[in-house]
């Protein structure tokens, strides 16, 4: 059996038999957090809606920014017109913020995207098609964050998540501030398919996902009784889930915006266990972790040799991006 800490190329502190801590990064210490979201397209708008409805316990307010003024005005009005019947102030307020105000916040969420392939394009990894344009864009905002002296959390939701985390770090954002949110939906998709197949039922209670939000994703049917064949089958189903939605004639953004984005980010801010990408030194690696006042605590369960080898391959393929 091997453990994830063997891949970590930076200082870490063991905090328990099955956990270790990577020191550094912003800490919120139970305070309510102001979040700013960049780009109110399909993903950004859905994410903002889900955060407003489910984040009142941890959010003091939500700022939204978009170059399309009409789009921005639409979302500001509609989101603020969502009011609980018994408590008009039950949900966090939403306000428009200018590009110059983007980093006047505790946590910044990058949802901007260019070059999303048309639904007519078949058999392409949509996530990677967007890499060049999105990397150029996030680098610009990374430089803006660094120049502004931003010390908050820099969250990446746009595809491809892990390479974009690396691009933000190269642009000057401290890697400890950056986390990528693409793995939550992969956990959701794996759970969805596992629920329909008795052979994979163990995933619902013992399964895990690791690695990038894309072709190198690693799904484990169980970390207690790992089955390599079943896990690879479930991985294929999970990776191809977005293609199935596209074949129905729709862009698959709802589950990613909510599972990977809103729900995972809110759990991160609460200090709860969730899936996101963390800087291991040589690359950003997606895994189960939680934010603490001292840094990011990572789950470090003993792993089957075949499972560890799959995760290591994914990690090595991500190296070189930082």
**Does pLDDT of 182 surpass 80?**
yes
Mean pLDDT over 160-172 rounds to 96
C-alpha–C-alpha distance, residues 147 and 167, integer Å: 16
**Does pLDDT of 2 surpass 80?**
yes
CATH fold of 23-182 reads Rossmann fold (3.40.50)
Residues 138, 164 contacting (CB under 8 angstroms)? yes
**Does pLDDT of 118 surpass 80?**
no
C-alpha–C-alpha distance, residues 68 and 112, integer Å: 12
Mean pLDDT over 263-276 rounds to 98
Rounded to two decimals, the pTM is: 0.95
pLDDT, position 227: 98
| pLDDT, tens digit (0-9, with 9 covering 90-100), for 240-259 | 999 999 999 999 999 999 99
pLDDT, position 116: 61
Residues 39, 113 contacting (CB under 8 angstroms)? yes
**Residues ≥6 apart with Cβ < 8 Å to 90:** 56, 83, 84
Q: What's the number of CA atoms in the CB half-sphere (13 Å) around residue 52?
A: 26
pLDDT, position 115: 64
Let me know if 282 is exposed, middle or buried by CB neighbors in 10 A (0-12, 13-18, 19+). Answer: middle
C-alpha–C-alpha distance, residues 100 and 77, integer Å: 21
- Domain range summary for the chain, segments of one domain joined by +: 4-8+15-21+185-248+281-318, 23-182
């Amino acid at each position: 059996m091997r453990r994830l800490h063997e891949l970590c190329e930076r200082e870490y502190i063991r905090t328990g038999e099955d956990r270790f801590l990577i020191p550094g990064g912003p800490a919120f210490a139970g305070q309510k957090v102001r979040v700013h979201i960049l780009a109110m397209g399909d993903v950004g708008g859905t994410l903002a809606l889900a955060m407003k409805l489910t984040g009142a316990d941890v959010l003091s307010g939500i700022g939204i920014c978009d170059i399309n003024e009409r789009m921005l005005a639409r979302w500001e009005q509609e989101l603020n017109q969502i009011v609980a019947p018994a408590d008009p102030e039950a949900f966090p307020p939403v306000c428009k913020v200018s590009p110059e105000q983007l980093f006047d916040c505790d946590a910044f969420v990058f949802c901007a995207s260019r070059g999303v392939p048309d639904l007519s394009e078949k058999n392409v990894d949509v996530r990677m098609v967007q890499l060049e344009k999105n990397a150029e864009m996030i680098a610009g905002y990374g430089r803006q964050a660094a120049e502004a002296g931003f010390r908050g959390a820099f969250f990446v939701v746009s595809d491809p998540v892990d390479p974009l985390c690396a691009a933000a770090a190269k642009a000057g954002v401290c890697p400890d501030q950056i986390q990528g949110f693409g793995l939550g939906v992969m956990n959701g998709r794996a759970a969805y398919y596992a629920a329909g197949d008795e052979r994979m039922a163990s995933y619902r209670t013992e399964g895990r996902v690791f690695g990038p939000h894309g072709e190198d994703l690693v799904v484990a049917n169980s970390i207690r009784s790992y089955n390599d064949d079943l896990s690879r089958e479930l991985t294929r189903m999970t990776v191809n889930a977005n293609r199935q939605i596209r074949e129905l004639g729709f862009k698959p953004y709802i589950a990613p915006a909510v599972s990977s984005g809103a729900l995972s980010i809110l759990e991160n801010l609460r200090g709860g266990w969730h899936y996101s990408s963390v800087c291991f030194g040589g690359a950003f690696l997606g895994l189960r972790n939680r934010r603490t006042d001292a840094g990011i605590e990572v789950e470090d369960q003993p792993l089957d040799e075949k499972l560890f080898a799959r995760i290591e391959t994914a990690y090595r393929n991500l190296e070189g991006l930082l």
